[in-house]
Amino acid sequence: ILWQTVSKALISGNTFKSSGLMDGIAYEFRVIAENLAGKSKPSKPSEPTLALDPIDPPGKPIPLNITRHAVALKWTKPEYNGGFKITGYTVEKRDLPNGRWLKANFSNILETEFTVSGLTEDAAYEFRVIARNAAGAVSQPSEPS
C-alpha cells in the first residue's frame, strides 16, 4: 500500500472531505495527529471505502390508500442514480411526534411503491424512503411524509 497525504494544511476538528477520488476504487484512510511536540504515529487504517457518486434521495412518499392498519405509499425515483442502476429501496416509519426511524420492509423493494402494514389504528406516523444502487451507494432519506 502506498500512503499519500491528502490534506495540504492542518485540519482542526475531526472531519475531512477528500476530493479527486476515482469512482469504483476502494480507498483506506488513516489520520496523524500533530501538535507542538510533533506528529503521532498513524491511526489504524479505516475500512476500505468505495468512491461513489452520491445518489439523490427519492421523492417524498405519497399515501395512496390508508386503512385502519396499513398505508400504501408511492414515490418517485431519485433524479440522479449515482451512475448505477437503482437496485432497491428501504421504507422507514416512525411514530409521531418523536418516535425513532425504523425499517418498515424486510425484503428488498424493487418498485417505487410499498404497503406498510401492522400500523396501529388512530396512531400518527411519518414515512421516508432510501434508495440503493448497484454499486452499493445509499442515498440520503427522502423528505418525510
The whole-number pLDDT of residue 21 equals 86
The whole-number pLDDT of residue 14 equals 83
Whether 23 shows a pLDDT value over 80: the answer reads no
Q: Is 129 in contact with 145 (CB distance < 8 Å)?
A: no
* Residue range 14-23: mean pLDDT, rounded: 83
Q: What is the CATH number of domain 1-51?
A: 2.60.40
> 63-115, pLDDT tens digit by residue?
999 999 999 999 999 999 998 999 999 999 999 999 999 999 999 999 999 99
Whether 128 shows a pLDDT value over 80: the answer reads yes
Distance CA 128, CA 130 (A): 7
Distance CA 139, CA 82 (A): 9
Q: Which of 83, 26, 78 is nearest to 57 (CA)?
A: 78
Q: What is the CATH number of domain 62-141?
A: 2.60.40.10
Provide the grid cell at 87. Answer: 437496485
Give the pTM.
Answer: 0.73
Confirm whether 1-51 and 62-141 share one CATH topology.
yes
Task: Kindly list the domain boundaries of the chain, sorted by start residue.
Answer: 1-51, 62-141
Distance CA 27, CA 124 (A): 43
